[in-house]
Amino acid sequence: MLNISERGAAMPESPIRKLVPFAQGAEQKGRTVYYLNIGQPDIKTPEVAIDALRIIDRDIIEYSHSAGGLGYRTGLTKYYNKLNFNITPEDIIVTTGGSEALVFAFNCCMNEGDEVIIPEPFYANYNGFAKISNVNIVPVTSTIENGFALPAISEFEKLITKKTKAILICNPGNPTGYLYSKEELETLRDIVKKHNLYLISDEVYREFCYDGKKHISIFNLDGIEENSIVVDSISKRYSMCGARIGAFISKNKKLMSTALKYAQARLSPPTLGQIAGEAALETPQSYFDEVSAEYVARRDVLVEGLNKIEGIFCPTPGGAFYAVASLPIENAEHFCQWLLEEFEYNNQTIMLAPAAGFYATKGLGKNQVRMAYVLNKDSLRNAIECLDQALKVYPNRTINKFVKAEI
């Protein structure tokens, strides 16, 4: 028998994939589906980036340097140094999206069977990268009651074993939108210093911090230069997810020379994405101001609307464009399928992502959903109304057992 590999069979499916046929079914019935389940923004890519393609003056679309074109890395260095990263172009490897940077990080820091601690709920694709690299994710649980704040040091220290090699955070976070404070980051610094771990920080939502809060990178912390890896991507920053351009950034020279070998194996990151990405460095501040204002307005519509519905609790995210809410239901997977398969309100329904797929601990997050506020405010209002109506008629609605904490 010709078998597929066991590891291939064990690769996780996307947690929302199962729901896609039901969404297609709802559309075939002529229903409007509000897609709050995905992180593909509807925000326009900066014109300066697309214009760079329109005036492309190359005869050959050649490989770039495996670490990315030096011109682009020099431009990126300026961008990062405005954020006080204090780096040089040699500290950057341009990657094929943030995804590749994460796989590089896992492969360079860990052997097969080693462990990385990640606060849960976390971006579900980390599970896939961990499988690809054959490392184990050890979750440390953050709770909706605490607004997904960083768990206490003691919770981390309970989990650290000989096999622990790294802590991975996403800041601001997908799926929670949580923005770590300086104190929380300093806590992480103390842990990685004490236990000699790598600190991998996925900062792809850096530009999206709200309410006057400032993003703090792990590169703004002193004393962990050798431990720190920033994973970045231009996908969300410039709403150009399809460019597939990210970055692996570290001041640890040995780590960089190791990551470069992985980069050389796949020859080059995408050249066209780099052309657009380099041009996007000239995006005016007004673009970010407008986009941020738009996301804040959407967030407010979403979070305020949700919290008005009896039995729903949604902490206010400090950044990114996601929110996790708990619903007065027991099984969000069933509820999300029911929304698409059986429910309609004025011929509309909504697609949400069940949050259990963002937890590594079995059983957690079962009554939670993730929503991406990547739709305009009117659509969000309609979506919230749908959800309100749905909960009134959902046959498996529970009495809300959740008591809101002070946060």
CB of 94 to a second copy, least distance (A): 12
CB of 177 to a second copy, least distance (A): 20
Residues 99-158 that bind a second copy (CB under 8 A): 99-100, 107-112, 114, 125, 128-129, 131-132, 134
Calpha distance 261→267 (Å, rounded): 10
Answer yes or no whether residue 61 interacts with a second copy by CB under 8 A: yes
Q: For 106, which DSSP code? A: H
Select 41 or 319, whichever has its Cβ closest to a second copy: 41
Q: Are strands 115-120 and 368-372 parallel, antiparallel or unpaired?
A: unpaired
φ, ψ (nearest 5 deg) of residue 106: -60, -45
Binding segment toward a second copy, per CB under 8 A, in 54-62, 141-149, 213-221, 362-370: 54-62
Q: Answer whether 391's CB lies under 8 Å from 58's CB.
A: no
Select 24 or 196, whichever has its Cβ closest to a second copy: 196
Q: Answer whether 329's CB lies under 8 Å from 394's CB.
A: yes
Which x/- pattern over 195-214 shows residues binding a second copy (rule: CB under 8 A)? -xxx----------------
Count Cβ atoms below 10 Å from residue 300 Cβ, excluding itself: 15
Q: Which residue, 139, 141, 153, is CA-closest to 183?
A: 153
How far from 243 is each of 78, 122, 170, 290, 298, CA to CA, in Å? 21, 24, 21, 22, 25
CB of 33 to a second copy, least distance (A): 17
Residues 281-340 that bind a second copy (CB under 8 A): none
Q: Answer whether 145's CB lies under 8 Å from 195's CB.
A: no
Calpha distance 349→337 (Å, rounded): 11
Pick the binder of a second copy from 36, 37, 45, 279 (CB under 8 A). 45
φ, ψ (nearest 5 deg) of residue 260: -65, -30
Answer yes or no whether residue 42 interacts with a second copy by CB under 8 A: yes
Which x/- pattern over 243-262 shows residues binding a second copy (rule: CB under 8 A)? xx-------x-xx--xx-xx
CB of 273 to a second copy, least distance (A): 6
Select 123 or 313, whichever has its Cβ closest to a second copy: 123
Pick the binder of a second copy from 164, 227, 283, 349 (CB under 8 A). 227
Place of tokens 């509807």: 42
Q: Answer whether 123's CB lies under 8 Å from 175's CB.
A: yes
CB of 274 to a second copy, least distance (A): 8
Residues 331-390 that bind a second copy (CB under 8 A): none
